[in-house]
Chain A
Amino acid sequence: MARRHIMEFERPLVELESKLAELRRLDLTGDPQLLLEVSALAEEIERLRRETYEHLDPWARVQISRHPERPKTDDYVTALFTDVIEIHGDRAYGDDEAIFAGFGTYGTRKLVILGHRKGTDTKSNVRRNFGSPHPEGYRKAMRAMRLADKFGLPIVTFLDTAGAYPGIEAEERGQALAIAESLALLSGVRVPVVVFGIGEGGSGGALAIGFGDRLIMLENAYYSVISPEMCSNILYKDPGQAKTAAECLKMTADELVAIGIADEVVREPLGGAHRDPAPVFEAVGAALARALDELVSQEGHELVERRYARLREIGEYGS
């Protein structure tokens, strides 16, 4: 098995784990003293594992959300849906592989699926621009939204992007306009929109396909107006204070439920969804089914009015 990616905060634990693995490879039958030490170490590791993963701070969760082996949009599409048909292109410039768009069936429900798409290795990450879309990606997503609206298919979206790509061509082709139009369009589709934060929820680039009638966050996913590193850079002229920034931004799943931005949290196995994805897929599927059950009985215009009312309530001010 390939060595898994080690996150900064779990390094002490991983080091002990590999020490233990080494000891276990030895024949210790003739050494009761060492055997005792091994079992003590195993206990110590168990304790440290709980300590490390049970109370993750926001910055640790951001690292988990970016873990290269974390389940991605493609994994959810494969695990949850049948009869998947992917659509391609914005009919104006090209096909942006950083956005997945297509049809799929969950159980008996026919849906339109949208998601940010990160790669699994260097080659696919380059093709998918590490999950950071260009304007044509959002324009493809808009095509899918229009199809959903026209044919009465509920929309499910999977958020996993560090942000819309900040490049010259993206600016030249209207990144801002593409996002703005996507926001306006999504606000008015006459079908249910269920959004899952599965990894990174980076600012406007996530929001373009990232609001609707339900917002469901995986426990270690984040959703934020700005990355902790950029926030730290602005506040302290130093990206090194990202941990502090991550705490201030209230960007984790549980915090977002607490402040009324997200509706529910899907729990992950200890250490993150990459440790054991199967139950996570199952829980996401169950949450999707529940949300759709609540939403599909509503008329299109009712959904649009409620979605608008939801948006109108977001914001804190004095008067």
Chain B
Amino acid sequence: MSIADWFSARERRRYVRAGDVSVPADVADGVWVKCDGCGKTLYEGELVEQLRVCRHCGHHLAMTAPQRIESLADEGSFEETEKGLTPVDPLSFAAAKPYTESLASAREKSGLEEAVVTGRARIGGIPVMLAVMDFRFIGASMGSVVGEKIARLFEQATAARLPVIIVTASGGARMQEGMFSLMQMAKTAAAAKRHSDAGLAYVSVLTNPTYGGVTASFAVLADVLIAEPGAMIGFAGPRLVEQTIRQKLPKGFQTAEFMLEHGMVDEVVPRAELREHLVTLLGYLRARQDRAS
């Protein structure tokens, strides 16, 4: 399913409301979800209207890349880029489960070709290059395609003198691509640096969960780092840390709020305010360009 198809499918679903439990096809599609925060059952249609924030406890549930793009980009402004880049299996990785099978099931599950969707968009009228990662695709791990799409995003933004917004989520590197995957960290960090050296703005929005090679490369190199409430953010995963130090982890370890307290992110912004917040922030980060034009 292309992004365009997804949007039109979403348009059709828009008319299904919380009360419409008489739509059995949707129920079969798993339209009822359980909140990871409070355990209450939520109706997906209504949940999406609320940007997938639980109305009972305020927990921020995962968004798909298309949902996120729709929530941020001005209507009809998103044009996907580098759609044709598709993952391959460079190491013929076949331990436990062949990589090609993981890719096929990720494609089927997410309707996406890879773990990041990139494109041009406008947010509150401001043209930006936008990337959104989607955790459903092999934990939004970074392999060659994710790295290449992020690098091209920064390069195109540098050429067009546009700000970059990246909404991250990732379990880390895509181990099935071995060193090709690890080197994407250096590639994306270098591309982000060149964009920054050109005096252009980059804002990243760290969502649950953002870990490993993505955190330790482009994700944290932004001018301003925003985290979503409750998002887990770190380099090493909590289980690995716990195993290494053989101690219980402090309460709230690696949550967005913990990161804020330790000076690792600039702000924690609730999803409902994110779009307006980005518009205001970009106003500051584009001040020089605005004066020049």
Contacts and interface: CB of A to CB of B under 8 A. Distances in A.
Interface of A: 164-168, 170-177, 179-181, 183-188, 203-204, 207, 211, 223-226, 230-231, 234-236, 241, 244-245, 247-251, 256, 259, 261, 307-308, 311-312, 314-319
Contact of B183 (A177, A179, A250, A311): A311
A172 B182 CA distance: 23
Interface stretch (B20-28, B39-47, B84-92): B84-92
Most buried by B among A171, A174, A241: A171
Nearest to B99: A248
B193 A187 contact: yes
Contacts of A318: 85-88
Nearest to B262: A172
A225 B189 contact: no
Contacts of B216: 164, 175-177, 179-180, 183, 204
Given A171-B236, A319-B85, A204 B212 contact: yes
A316 B220 contact: no
Given A180-B189, A203-B173, A207-B186, A314 B180 contact: yes
A316 B180 contact: yes
A248 B95 contact: yes
Interface residues of B, number: 63
Nearest to B149: A317
Contact of A171 (B88, B180, B190, B241): B241
Contacts of A176: 215-216, 219-220, 234-235
Most buried by A among B187, B216, B237: B216
B287 interface: no
Contacts of A177: 216, 220, 264
A166 B244 contact: yes
B159 interface: no
Interface string B183-200: 111110110111001000
24 contacts: A166-B237, A168-B245, A171-B234, A171-B236, A174-B264, A176-B216, A179-B185, A179-B217, A184-B193, A187-B193, A204-B182, A207-B183, A225-B177, A225-B179, A235-B97, A248-B178, A251-B178, A251-B179, A259-B178, A308-B194, A312-B151, A315-B148, A318-B86, A319-B84
Interface in B87-134: 87-88, 90-91, 93-97
B91 A170 contact: no
A45 to B, nearest CB: 34
Contacts of A165: 244
Given A183-B185, A314-B180, A168 B250 contact: yes
Secondary structure call for the A interface: helix
Contacts of B207: none
Nearest to A163: B236
A312 B235 contact: no
B148 A167 contact: no
B225 to A, nearest CB: 9
Nearest to B83: A319
B95 A245 contact: yes
B175 interface: yes
A247 B192 CA distance: 33
A47 B235 CA distance: 47
Interface string B69-81: 0000000000000
A241 B95 contact: yes
Contacts of B84: 319
Contacts of B174: 225
Contacts of B151: 312
B178 A224 contact: yes
B178 A168 contact: no
Contacts of B173: 203-204, 225-226
A235 B101 CA distance: 14
A67 B271 CA distance: 50
B292 interface: no
Nearest to B91: A250
Contacts of A183: 185-186, 189-190, 216-217
B144 interface: yes
Contacts of A248: 91, 93-95, 178
A158 to B, nearest CB: 18
B186 A311 contact: yes
B137 interface: no
A250 B183 CA distance: 14
B95 A171 contact: no
A175 B186 contact: no
Most buried by B among A204, A247, A251, A315: A315
B242 to A, nearest CB: 9
A173 to B, nearest CB: 8
B6 interface: no
Contact of B217 (A180, A188, A250): A180
A165 to B, nearest CB: 8
Interface in B230-266: 234-237, 240-241, 244-245, 247, 249-250, 253-254, 262-264
